[in-house]
Amino acid sequence: METLIEFFSFEYPNIKYVVFGTILLSISSAVVGCFTFIKKKSLVGDVVSHAVLPGICISFLASGSKDPFLLIIGAFISGWISIVVMDAIIRNTKIKEDAATGLALSVFFGVGILLMTYIQHSGNASQSGLDTFLFGKAAALVGIDLLAFSIIAVIVLIVVFLFYKEFKLISFDPQFAKVIGLPIRRLEIVLTSITVLAVVTGIQAVGVVLMAAMLITPAAAARFWTNRLSKMLIIASVFGAFSGISGAFISYSTPSMPTGPWMVMILSIVALFSFFFAPGRGIVINQWRRFKIQQQLLEENLLKAFFKIGETNNDYFKEIEANDLRLARAFSSGQLTKGLRKLNSNGYVERVGNAWRLSKEGHDKGKRITRLHRLWELYLTKYLRIAPDHVHEDADTIEHVITPELESRLEQLLDYPTSDPHHSTIPGRN
């Protein structure tokens, strides 16, 4: 608790630099990463993060210092050229996008490693610490780094705010954007430029190896929580900022732990949680929703079987054994056991010895399902001209999703029918 209070009091300047620096780079990366993710160009961040290394080395060789502004300028130029080269390869050759991505990434990174090796063997005393750009060292951020991060983050966010509608359109529907006269190529260049800026911002904190994760992971996690781009940008920014604060705190409380890798670890945990438990699209939630739908279908099919047996015997509340239900519809033993137990707990059927009997509520629900089934069969034969012996399976599916409004509309279209295509009586409303 003392460490927590000490950390969030921001008493020491180094804590401020690290926390606010990681937050700024995380937010700027997450925002532009959303557009990259939507455009299905997730590997662009990987290309840029590896391609900035030659620019950093050349900038250092030209200036002889590790001034962050000069290194960022060199990194930006190198990263931007890598994207231009990759696009040129895709546009002008038969090489596919994935191969062009691999070429640009490996060639630029290889040149960067060669230059880095040359610098390390040059005897230049100023080169100490330059290799932190490979793996990052967020804990070493100082005031001048925070200033550089702030300027770049502000530039990125302002550009996204000014061109939000245009970026949104070229990300989702570039063909429509072209038809209405938007300068697609120029907008692509602007978006590419701020993507490179965002990547360059985070290189010093998390390094070229992990920067791609900072760009794409928040966007991928946020996509599971919303279908709106505006909300996705906010959620991704929150995830990014949370990872920055958490990574800095873990590094502060456990000095042997690096900040950058922990930021990526926190983001990965957030992403995994989103993949499984996000309300709208999470895997576990979807599986649970699918299970509930299957359970509903089983219950309604059982009630329909009860009703049809009662219709045949002209006694809807007659006691029916499980074998009779199995003859009426191909239920497995497990389905029957599970379905009847659930119907009993919901008050739709009651057990009488070894047999089962419909309750009033179960009769009404079974009657409605049968009614919807036969209405839909009649609609298919009358309006879509489908043969009566080909409509059962389709009606067996649709009957479970017809709303009361659609039911009324079907009645009107069919002029309030009393029998289906097979001459079975269509039950009236409950």
**101 closest CA partner among 116, 93, 90, 113:** 90
Spatial contact of 211 and 135, defined as CB atoms under 8 Å apart: no
Q: What is the DSSP string of 121-162?
A: TTT-GGGTTTTHHHH--GGG--HHHHHHHHHHHHHHHHHHHH
Spatial contact of 117 and 111, defined as CB atoms under 8 Å apart: no
Number of Cβ atoms within 10 Å of the Cβ of 283: 13
C-alpha–C-alpha distance, residues 163 and 184, integer Å: 12
Q: Which of 256-260, 319-323, 378-382, 426-430 has the highest mean pLDDT?
A: 378-382
Average pLDDT, the chain: 85
Q: Does 125 have pLDDT greater than 70?
A: no
**261 closest CA partner among 192, 207, 311:** 207
Residue 350 has a pLDDT of 92
C-alpha–C-alpha distance, residues 114 and 133, integer Å: 14
C-alpha torsion angle, residues 21, 22, 25, 31 (rounded to 10) = -130
- Number of continuous H segments (helices) and E segments (strands) in the chain: 18, 3
Residue 132 has a pLDDT of 63
* Structure tokens belonging to residue 62: 């030209």
For the chain, the structural domain boundaries read 2-277, 282-430
At 26 the three-state DSSP class reads helix
**251 closest CA partner among 144, 135, 137:** 137
Q: Give strand pairing partners of 349.
A: 358
Which amino acid is residue 37, in one-letter code? F
pLDDT tens digit sequence for 301-331: 999 999 999 988 888 898 998 888 888 888 8
Number of Cβ atoms within 10 Å of the Cβ of 319: 15
pLDDT tens digit sequence for 162-174: 999 999 998 888 8
With a pLDDT cut of 90, the percent of the chain lying above it is 30
Average pLDDT of span 143-155: 78
Spatial contact of 25 and 202, defined as CB atoms under 8 Å apart: yes
Burial zone of 243 (CB within 10 Å; 0-12 exposed, 13-18 middle, 19+ buried): buried
* Structure tokens belonging to residue 224: 């599971």
pLDDT tens digit sequence for 224-242: 999 899 999 999 999 988 9
Q: What fold is seen in the domain 282-430?
A: Arc Repressor Mutant, subunit A (1.10.10)
Average pLDDT of span 411-428: 90
Please give the distance of CA 414 from its chain centroid, rounded to a whole number. Answer: 43
**CATH numeric code, 2-277:** 1.10.3470.10
C-alpha torsion angle, residues 82, 84, 90, 91 (rounded to 10) = -170
Q: Does 65 have pLDDT greater than 80?
A: no
pLDDT tens digit sequence for 203-226: 767 766 677 788 889 999 999 999
C-alpha torsion angle, residues 236, 238, 243, 244 (rounded to 10) = 110
Spatial contact of 392 and 385, defined as CB atoms under 8 Å apart: no
